[in-house]
Amino acid sequence: MTRPTPRIGHATVVLATVVYGILLIPILMVIATSFTAQPFPTLPKTIDLQWYGELMSDGQIHGTLITSFIVALVSSIIAAAIGIVSAFGFVRYEFPYKQTISTAMLLPLIISPIITGVAILQFTSRVGINTGYPTLILGHSVLVFPYAFLIIRSALSSFDSTLEDASVVMGATPAASFVNVTLPMIAPAVFSAVLVSFLVSFGEFTATQFLVSADATTVPVIIYTMMRTGVTPTITALATVLVVIMTLVGVISEAVN
């Protein structure tokens, strides 16, 4: 039986436009205003790339891009590694309070990042870890962990564990069958987990503002600092660069998983 396509009323069209507008206009505004010829970010009449030229010649911005990249890459790999080990435990074994503990693993996603930021800064200064790279990487590993954990757990739970058993029956050690059978099967999910974690880390501001140091600052923090002194097209150009990077990483993570 084929269903007739329902007629769509005018109200639905209007409401859908409003909702998609609320979601997408903010991003489009940032992109559009970066091409303005004016000294403040307005919708451009002609395409002008002068603000991108300004970005290219700003050494401080290059530094923050590199810092953001290193922090996002290292912390997403750490989160994925811990995610693989712990997701394995959650999928393959039963233990008491599983549901509660599993919610606890998601706390960094639920709790306000302002608290995560303050708590980790206080903790690292107590135990003598410096601000900058060490605190940034530690903090971001915690912040992105739930994403890595969820994506890998979901891949592991749909993976047929009898394949592993078959490998063991055929004479492989459990460890060898994990490396040769399980890991290749969940590899796309692990890669996707790293990319999604990378995205979350790359864009995080609220906790990050506490963890940066003078010589290791991330892009969202520099955008915030620049916004304090007035919004300029240089900021929207930098934000557009970020939008492009984030969309690319996001699309790749969708494609592999």
Partner 1 sequence: MFRSVPVVDTFRDRLPATIHVLFGIGFIALFLLLPIALLVINSLNFGGELLENYRIALSDVYLRAIFNSLFIAAVTTPILLLLAFFVSYFIIFQTERTRLMLGLVLLPMWIAYIIRYLGIQLFLYPNGPVVSVFDTNFGLLFSTAGVVLGLVSGFLPFAVLPIYNSLSGVDRDLIDASSVMGATRLSTIRHVMVPLSIPGFVTAGLLVFILSAGAFLAPDILGGPSDLMIANMIERSYSEIFDINLAAALAVIYTGILLTLLVAFNSYLNIGEVLSDV
Residues 13-72 that bind partner 1 (CB under 8 A): 15-16, 19-20, 22-30, 33, 40-43
3-state secondary structure (DSSP) of residue 42:
coil
Among 106, 133, 159, 213, binds partner 1 (CB under 8 A): 106
Among 35, 153, 216, 237, binds partner 1 (CB under 8 A): 153
Using the minimum distance from each CB to partner 1, give the nearer residue, 18 or 56.
Answer: 18
CB-side neighbour CA atoms (13 Å) of 227: 10
As to burial, measured by CB atoms within 10 angstroms (0-12 exposed, 13-18 middle, 19+ buried), residue 69 is middle
β-partners of residue 213 are 216
Least gap, CB of 85 to partner 1 (angstroms): 5
Among 77, 105, 185, 256, binds partner 1 (CB under 8 A): 105
Segment contacting partner 1 (CB under 8 A): 46-54, 59-67, 69-77, 237-245?
237-245
Which of 101, 145, 117, 123 is closest to 218 using CA atoms?
Answer: 117
Segment contacting partner 1 (CB under 8 A): 45-53, 59-67, 69-77, 175-183?
175-183
| Tokens encoding 210 | 């506490």
Least gap, CB of 243 to partner 1 (angstroms): 6
Dihedral sign computed on CA atoms, order 53, 57, 58, 59: positive
Residue type, 127: V
Using the minimum distance from each CB to partner 1, give the nearer residue, 175 or 214.
Answer: 175
Which positions from 180 to 219 touch partner 1 by CB under 8 A, shown as an x/- string? x---------------x--x--xxxxx--xx---------
Using the minimum distance from each CB to partner 1, give the nearer residue, 130 or 247.
Answer: 247
Q: CB neighbours of 168 closer than 8 A, spacing ≥ 6?
A: 174, 177
Binding-site size for partner 1 (CB under 8 A) equals: 100
Q: Which of residues 118-147 bind partner 1 (CB under 8 A)?
A: 118-120, 122-123, 126, 138, 141-142, 145-147
Neighbours of 50 (CB within 10 A): 14
Among 101, 163, 169, 255, binds partner 1 (CB under 8 A): 101
Neighbours of 211 (CB within 10 A): 28
Using the minimum distance from each CB to partner 1, give the nearer residue, 199 or 216.
Answer: 199
Least gap, CB of 159 to partner 1 (angstroms): 15
CB 138 within 8 A of CB 151: no
Using the minimum distance from each CB to partner 1, give the nearer residue, 28 or 56.
Answer: 28
What is the spatial distance between Cα 36 and Cα 31, in angstroms, rounded to a whole number? 10
Whose structure tokens read 């306000």? 112
Which of 213, 67, 83, 69 is closest to 142 using CA atoms?
Answer: 83
Using the minimum distance from each CB to partner 1, give the nearer residue, 3 or 59.
Answer: 3
